[in-house]
Amino acid sequence: MDIQKVKVLLTKAEIEAKVKELAQMLSRDYSGKNPLFVCVLKGAAVFLCDLIRHMDINLEVDFMAVSSYGNSTTSSGVVRILKDLEYSIEDRHVIIVEDIIDTGLTLDYLRENLLSRRPASLKIVALLDKPERRTVEIEADYRGFCIPDEFVVGYGLDFKENFRNLPDVCVLLEFG
Ligand code: IMP
Ligand code: MG
């Protein structure tokens, strides 16, 4: 791992405290509703695993994988579903779990797609948000951190599939 290529933006401890806070809010808001957490693979997997372990209510998880047509650092808004949900979400309380909202195009597509399946409710929890980059109107209902317009890796986020295992969220200094 070329550690020298990254600079820590959010430490493991800061992330853990924030994830706990989000989990408490979600536990309070979804108590008795048996919500379904829809994790957007692969980036949000680390976040999901930590989030649900801080929750003390009945809940279920499912996974979706999407790929956005575009290059490795920008998305085009045209999204292809690589892996769909296992079960119907009709009449379920659904929470999309995302690692980061950048342009918002991926989440905008996902939201419309899932809404067409008639869930009882649909909310978004995102660990990171880069509001400066937004091209469509979409906000997280539960948001961890607002970060500047820099490419970040770690805590599940990748650059060309690397760096997902870093415990901190780091800014990538060198692309290559
Ligand atoms: P959007 O469609 O532009 O909002 O892009 C969302 C997706 O792009 C996220 O789910 C990430 O997979 C990826 N992405 C956006 N910004 C970053 C970043 O800074 N680091 C790593 N992945 C990112
Ligand atoms: Mg992602």
Handedness of CA 161, 163, 166, 169 (dihedral sign): negative
Mean pLDDT in residue range 8-34: 98
- From the list 99, 102, 129, 168, the catalytic residue is 102
Cα-to-centroid distance, 109 and ligand 1 (Å): 14
Q: How many residues does the chain have?
A: 176
Active site residue 158: no
Q: Residue 164 — φ and ψ, nearest 5°?
A: -60, -25
Spell out the domain ranges in the chain: 13-149
**CB 50 less than 6 A from any atom of ligand 1:** no
**CB 152 less than 6 A from any atom of ligand 1:** yes
Nearest ligand 1 atom to the CA of 74 is: 3
pLDDT of residue 2: 62
pLDDT of residue 65: 95
Q: 4-18, 43-57, 64-78, 125-139: which has the minimum mean pLDDT?
A: 64-78
Quick check: 47 and 99 in contact, CB under 8 A? yes
Predicted TM-score (pTM) of the model is 0.94
Look-up of token digits 């079960």: 87
Q: How far apart are the first and last CA of the chain?
A: 13
Residue 29, CA distances (Å) to 93, 119, 126, 141 in order: 11, 16, 16, 12
Cα-to-centroid distance, 101 and ligand 1 (Å): 6
**CB 43 less than 6 A from any atom of ligand 1:** yes
Ligand 1 pocket test: pick from 42, 99, 108, 152 the residue with the most ligand atoms within 8 Å of its Cβ.
99
Is the backbone of residue 161 left (phi > 0), alpha (psi -120 to 50) or beta? left
Handedness of CA 44, 50, 56, 58 (dihedral sign): positive
CATH numeric code, 13-149: 3.40.50.2020
Q: Mean pLDDT score of the chain, rounded to an integer?
A: 93
- Which tens digit of pLDDT belongs to each residue from 89-117? 999 999 999 999 999 999 999 999 999 99
Rounded-to-integer distance, Cα 50 and Cα 97, Å: 12
Judged against a pLDDT cut of 80, whether residue 53 lies above it is answered with yes
pLDDT of residue 68: 76
Mean pLDDT in residue range 21-45: 98
pLDDT of residue 72: 57
